[in-house]
Amino acid sequence: MTTLNLEELRKQIDNIDEKIQTLITQRAEIAQSVARAKYAQEAQPNFYRPEREADILLRVIERNQKNQPKVLPDESLTPIFREIISACLSLQKPLKVAYLGPQGTYSQAATAKHFGHGAHTVPVQTIEEVFREVETDRAQYGVVPVENSTEGGVNQTLDCFMSSDLKICGEIELPIHHCLLSQSGDITRLVRVYSHQQSLAQCRSWLSGHLPAVNCIAVSSNAEAARRAAEEPDTAAIAGITAAERYHLQVVKANIEDYPQNTTRFAVLGKHFVPRTGRDKSSFLLSAAQSNHSGALLRLLKPFSDNGLNLTRIESRPSRQNLWEYVFFIDLDGHIEDEAVKTALDLLTTHASLVKHLGSYPRAIA
Ligand SMILES: C=C(O[C@@H]1C=C(C(=O)O)C=C[C@H]1O)C(=O)O
């Protein structure tokens, strides 16, 4: 009886799979027609449309809310749709996306999460190189880390924005779960732990609580840490689970980050303007006029608050032009084409010596 049922259920699944496949193929054919329509409008169209993709994914989530209780969590459904979109987009035009490598880093995971497997992803060695790849059109897009919820801003990225004209076309949020990895999987004989300094910092309490005597050594990336751990006994790496697979390491302990909600935010770099979705964020680089006068920062921020705008982040970096002068990186909820944002920017001109729009883009989606 059970066997019969199982067979029957599998038959139902096979039928559904056949339908899904037919529908995906139909969708891909329509995406090809969309490409022709884009060519009819422009000689060199932007095939990748983050605002349209965000809209599709939000509707996936919205439809899923209606299933109560939910059968699948949003986080299981959205990657499936991202892959379908990625495959359809690759039929229109395969995208080349540069990211901070090597393979096995969280930047690679963020790139795969956002662009799916239809994109051609290229690891490069530094954040500066990601910018350069896109600036020189060797890649159409780039993915760089911007901030981590435990450790704060990634200074190299912020500094690159000061001199670059690239725009932020999207943001990616990636929950970061660190694993302790080693050849043997045995925690007792460890003398050394390698990782990127950000990851070591994100696991600081766990390390001092569980491995107080080991030597923690910062290396250029988590993937490099995993590569070394695969070669040296008595050594572990802190890295993501994909690095374990790639470097054939055992998981000594999973989820060793000090804060379980540990998340890194990445920016998608590109050259084109992204239209409004109604659920956007904008990033600006600001510098106060008369920055050494009392209330300079207050005057810089007041136009945002007067227009009811929510700042989601503010960070300062040395201006690198005059001693003890700073630039401020600001993220807010809203799009440059929103009336409130336009008014705030108009008001800002008298109080700011620099206002650089780094981009408006759809908010990250699970
Ligand atoms: C199909 C389009 O092109 C691309 C592919 C998409 C998709 O497969 O849904 C969505 C947006 C674009 O990145 C489009 O612009 O609608």
CB of residue 52 inside a 6 A radius of ligand 1: yes
Best CA proximity match to 268, nearest among 365, 347, 125, 346: 365
For 181-254, which CATH superfamily applies? Periplasmic binding protein-like II (3.40.190.10)
| Contact assessment for residue 287 and residue 354, using Cβ atoms and an 8 Å cutoff | yes
CB of residue 274 inside a 6 A radius of ligand 1: no
* pLDDT score at 2: 54
Strand-pair partners of 122:
98
Class of the 274-362 domain? alpha beta
Query: Are 94-176+262-272 and 274-362 in the same CATH fold?
Result: no
Best CA proximity match to 222, nearest among 197, 258, 191, 185: 197
Which residue minimizes the CA distance to atom 1 of ligand 1? 31
CB of residue 169 inside a 6 A radius of ligand 1: no
CB of residue 154 inside a 6 A radius of ligand 1: no
**Ligand 1 pocket test target in 53, 56, 140, 361 with most atoms within 8 Å of CB:** 53
CATH architecture observed for domain 94-176+262-272: 3-Layer(aba) Sandwich (3.40)
* pLDDT score at 268: 98
Q: Helices 74-92 and 2-41: crossing angle, nearest 10°?
A: 40
Q: Where are the domains of the chain?
A: 21-93, 94-176+262-272, 181-254, 274-362
Maximum CA pair distance of the chain? 83
Encode the chain (366 residues) as per-residue pLDDT tens digits: 555 799 999 999 999 999 999 999 999 999 999 999 999 999 889 999 999 999 999 999 999 999 889 999 999 999 999 999 999 999 999 999 999 988 888 999 999 999 999 999 999 999 999 999 999 999 999 999 999 999 899 999 999 999 999 999 999 999 999 999 999 999 998 999 999 999 999 999 999 999 999 999 999 889 999 999 999 999 999 999 989 999 999 999 999 999 999 999 999 999 999 999 999 999 999 998 877 788 889 999 999 999 999 999 999 999 888 888 899 999 999 999 999 999 999 999 888 999 999 999 999 998
Number of CB atoms found within 10 A of residue 46's CB = 16
Alpha carbon of 204 to ligand 1 centroid (Å): 42
Helix (H) or strand (E) holding 208: helix 204-210
CB of residue 51 inside a 6 A radius of ligand 1: no
Q: Quickly list H helices, 66-105.
A: 74-92
What does each C-alpha distance from 24 to 59, 61, 65, 110, 188 come to in angstroms? 17, 19, 23, 24, 50
Alpha carbon of 167 to ligand 1 centroid (Å): 20
Q: For the chain, where are the E strands, in sequence order?
A: 96-100, 120-124, 141-148, 152-153, 167-175, 179-182, 192-195, 215-218, 235-239, 250-253, 263-270, 280-288, 311-318, 326-333, 352-362
Q: Helices 296-306 and 339-348: crossing angle, nearest 10°?
A: 160
Helix (H) or strand (E) holding 197: helix 197-202
DSSP string, 7-60: HHHHHHHHHHHHHHHHHHHHHHHHHHHHHHHHHHH-SS-----HHHHHHHHHHH
**Residue whose token pair is 């393979």:** 103
CB of residue 187 inside a 6 A radius of ligand 1: no
d(CA 199, CA 209): 16
- Options 1.10.260, 1.10.3470, 1.10.1740, 1.20.59; CATH of 21-93: 1.20.59
Alpha carbon of 278 to ligand 1 centroid (Å): 18
* pLDDT score at 38: 94
Q: Are strands 120-124 and 215-218 parallel, antiparallel or unpaired?
A: unpaired
d(CA 73, CA 65): 9
Residues labelled as active-site residues: 264, 266
Measured CA angle at 75 (ends 74, 81), to 5 deg: 80
Complex ipTM value: 0.97
* pLDDT score at 289: 84
- Count H helices and E strands in the chain, helices first: 12, 15
Strand-pair partners of 144:
267
